[in-house]
Structures are given as structure tokens and as C-alpha cells.
Structure 1
Amino acid sequence: MLELQDLHAYYGKSHVLHGVQFSVGKGEIVALLGRNGSGRSTTAKAIMGLVEATGSVNWQGKPILGKKPFEIAHLGIGHVPENRDIFPKLTVHQNLLLGQKGKGIGARWSFDDMYAMFPRLKEREHTEAGVLSGGEQQMLTLCRTLMGDPDLIIIDEPTEGLAPKIVELVAEYLQKLKSRGVSVLLIEQKLTIALSISDRVLVMGHGSIVFQGTPETLRADSQVRKEWLEV
């Protein structure tokens, strides 16, 4: 579905990504791992048209590099950024409503689905999003993106700052996406969640992919973990 070839990205004169190359298949969870500053978030932004980039990004066989972010979103790619980006003065329900494309007719996900997955959001349905806890805001951002019915969702550090029980909920949520045919590119630092739910893992270092393989292969490769992941 998603294929990157020789992707380079820049912030002004700073060359951040160096020939990134990988793919994400239909209904597949792919984890993109690496230390802070390795280029993971920049990769997500390059896919979404948020940074200057060269190379090739193909979505369902068609090039999307150079398109505007809203055009890419309407093609079926959802992006959950690390900073959450909720609308603080709008209620939970209003935030979810803004995530819908058109009237939501024929979409895989409904308000009831969101509230069933995260009952806490149902309890806070009419509460302004700005007063939610960090975990609740993360749930809301994930659900708002899903309301747009994407075929691929790019999630940047979804478990950052969350309590262990909420982390487990997020893992269950991502597996539920897969069961409904949604592909996931998971940008994560926590090895535990990434290795437990991913079909494949990528490790990034200095703006390049330095490892591709299964979770089992990465578990067995202590050298890669030590050099590129462990603090």
C-alpha cells in the first residue's frame, strides 16, 4: 500500500533523511523504532507532505510526494502526531465530529465504536477536550483520526507519558485496527509494545533504516538493539 524509495528530507539546509526505503502492506502493523533524533517523526512528516522531501512516496501505486497534507489525508492516510493537536475549546464529541470525512456514510468507524473502545471518552463526551488528562487526549486524537476512515494510520509515540494500563489499551486498539483491515505505521520508543503487536520492525539511525526484520529477529539481535536502541 505504502512504499518509500530513496526518501530524503530537509529542514532548510539540514539534511535529515538519507535514502529511507521501506513499505507497509495492507492490514500490516509496522513499527519504526529508534532513538530521539534518528529521523522517525521526520519520516512521518515527509509522507504527509509536512516537510521538504525528495525521492519517491507511493500510496496504492500512485505517487503522493509533493501533494498537500489535506490531499494526502483525503487519499486515506491518517496521521496522529506526537503533540496530539486536539481542539481544546471543543468538546470530545465535537473533536470527533471534525475528524469525519463528508457525512461519514459507509465509514468503518462510528461514534459508538469510539466510545465502545474507550468508555472514558463516552463519560467525557460533552467535556472540553482541553481539560482531559494526557491519556484521554491521546485516546481522543487516535479516535478523531479514525473517524476519517483511513486505510493507513501513522501513529507517532502513542504511549508517550501514558500509564501502563492505558498503554495496554492502546496496544489492543492498534490490533483492533488491524482486524478491520487498517494498516499501521507505529513510531515508538517502547520496545515491549512494538515487538508484541508488530508484524515487522524497522530500526532507524542517523536518518537511515539500519535494520528490517521480524520482532523475533530483533529480539535475537542484541548488537542492533545495543547500537541503535538502548540508552
Structure 2
Amino acid sequence: MLHVQDLHAYYGNSHVLQGVCLDVQPGEIVALLGRNGSGRSTTAKAIMGLVQWHGTLQWCGQSLAGLAPHDIAQQGLGYVPESRDVFAQLTVQQNLLLGQKDGRLAKRWSLDDMYQLFPQLRQRQHTRAGVLSGGEQQMLTLCRTLMGNPELILIDEPTEGLAPQLVALVGQFLHTLRQHGVAVLLIEQKLAIALEVSDRVVLMGQGRVVFEGTPESLRARSDVRQEWLQV
């Protein structure tokens, strides 16, 4: 599905990604772990065409090189940035409708589906997104991306700053995606939820992959966690 090989990216003279390699298979949840500054968010931005890169990025066997972000999204990739980026002056429902993409086959998700996933959004459907709480904006961004019926969603720090009950809702959301066969590349700081929901983990450090395996294999490697995750 998604194949990343020898991926390099730069911010000015700073060489951020230094040969990243990873794959995401259909319906799989892969947790992309690492400390802040390890290159996780830059990897997602490179996949979505938001930073300059070189190497190999392939989606379903086709190169993503040279494609604009909106063209990549039309291929079936969704992106939930850490910044959330709701349309503040539009209502919740208008934001959700903007997530729909013309031409996507097998329409999978509806407004009612979104409101079932996060009932709080139904209560706020006619409220401007700019006045929502941070947790509500996170729910909205997740659902707006899902309305485009992506086959793979890249989700950057979905639980950051959320109360425990909202973290649990995000976990349920990720399990729902798995049940519907939607693949996820999950960037997450909370190790417990990342290991609980993922099929595989890819650990980054200093712009490269330093460990890859199952959640169970990472749990068994206290040396790896101490060197690359603990502060």
C-alpha cells in the first residue's frame, strides 16, 4: 500500500530525515514513535507533499513524486495534522461536508456516521468550529478527514492535550477504522495507547528508523525504550 524507502527531507540546511524506510499494509495500524524532533511529523508531511524530499514514496505501486498535496489526497490518503486546522468561521457540519471528495468510489462514511462516532459533534453541529474546545476540534478534524473516505489516514498526535475520557474516545475511533479496513499511520506520544491500538511500531530517532516490530517486541526491549523514548 504505502512504501517509503530511503526518504530524506530538509528544512533549509537542516537534514531532518536521513533515509527513512517504512511500509503500511492495507487495514494496518502502524504507530510511528519517537521523541519530539525525531522526524515523525516531517515524515508525514513528506508523504503528503508538504515538504521537499527525495527518495522513494509509493502509494499502491505509484510514485507520489511531484504530486501536490491535494492530488495526493485524491489518491486516497487522508491527513490529520497536529495543528487540527479547522475552518473557524464555518459550523461543525459545514467543516464535515468540506471533507467530502468528489470521485471517491464506495462512499463509506456519512454525517450520521460521524455523529455516532462522536455524539458531541451532533450536539454542536450548527456551532462555529472556532468556538469549540480543543478536544471537540480534534474530533472534528478526525471526522472531516474520514469524510473523504481515505484508504490510509496519517494522524499526528491525536491525543495531545486531551483529557483521559477524550483519549479513550480517540482510541475507540482508531479501533473503528481498523474494523472498516482503513489503514493508519499514527504519530503518538502516549506509548500506552500507541501500543494498544497498533499492529506494528516504527521507532524513529535522529531522523532515521532505529527499531521496527510488534508492540509486544517493543515492550520486551527496555533498552530500546530507554535510549529512544524515555526522557
Confirm or deny a common fold (TM above 0.5): yes
Shift of 1:66: 2.1
Shift of 1:103: 7.8
* Matched residue SS, 1:202: strand
Task: Spell out, residue by residue over 1:89-134, the C-alpha distance to the aligned partner (whole angstroms, 9 max, x if none).
Answer: 1000000010001287741100000001100000000000001000
Conservation of the 8 A alpha-carbon contact between 1:18 and 1:207 = yes
Gaps of 5+ in 1: none
Task: Find the counterpart in structure 1 of residue 37 from structure 2.
Answer: 37
* Matched residue SS, 1:38: coil
Task: Find the counterpart in structure 2 of residue 113 from structure 1.
Answer: 113
* Matched residue SS, 1:71: helix
* Matched residue SS, 1:51: coil
Task: Spell out, residue by residue over 1:162-209, the C-alpha distance to the aligned partner (whole angstroms, 9 max, x if none).
Answer: 010110110110111011110000001110000001000011000000
Mapping for residues 134-213 of structure 1, pairs under 5 Å: 134-213=134-213
Task: Find the counterpart in structure 2 of residue 80 from structure 1.
Answer: 80
Conservation of the 8 A alpha-carbon contact between 1:44 and 1:154 = yes
Mapping for residues 53-132 of structure 1, pairs under 5 Å: 53-102=53-102, 106-132=106-132
Moved over 4 A (4+): none
Q: Call closer, same or farther: CA 1:193–1:142 in 2, change over 3 Å.
A: same
Task: Find the counterpart in structure 1 of residue 230 from structure 2.
Answer: 230
* Matched residue SS, 1:94: helix
Structure 2 counterpart of 1:82, one-letter code: E
How many pairs does the alignment contain? 231
Structure 1 counterpart of 2:164, one-letter code: P
State the Cα RMSD in Å. 1.0
Conservation of the 8 A alpha-carbon contact between 1:47 and 1:65 = no
* Matched residue SS, 2:36: coil
Structure 2 counterpart of 1:192, one-letter code: A
Cα distance in 1, alignment partners of residues 51 and 10 from structure 2: 7
Percent of counterpart pairs with the same letter? Answer: 67
Conservation of the 8 A alpha-carbon contact between 1:92 and 1:128 = yes
Shift of 1:12: 1.8
Cα distance in 2, alignment partners of residues 46 and 230 from structure 1: 26
Gaps of 5+ in 2: none
TM-score, structure 1 as length reference: 0.98
Cα distance in 1, alignment partners of residues 154 and 71 from structure 2: 16
Structure 1 counterpart of 2:134, one-letter code: G
Q: Call closer, same or farther: CA 1:147–1:216 in 2, change over 3 Å.
A: same
2:43 matches 1:25: no
TM-score, structure 2 as length reference: 0.98
Task: Spell out, residue by residue over 1:75-94, the C-alpha distance to the aligned partner (whole angstroms, 9 max, x if none).
Answer: 00000000000000100000
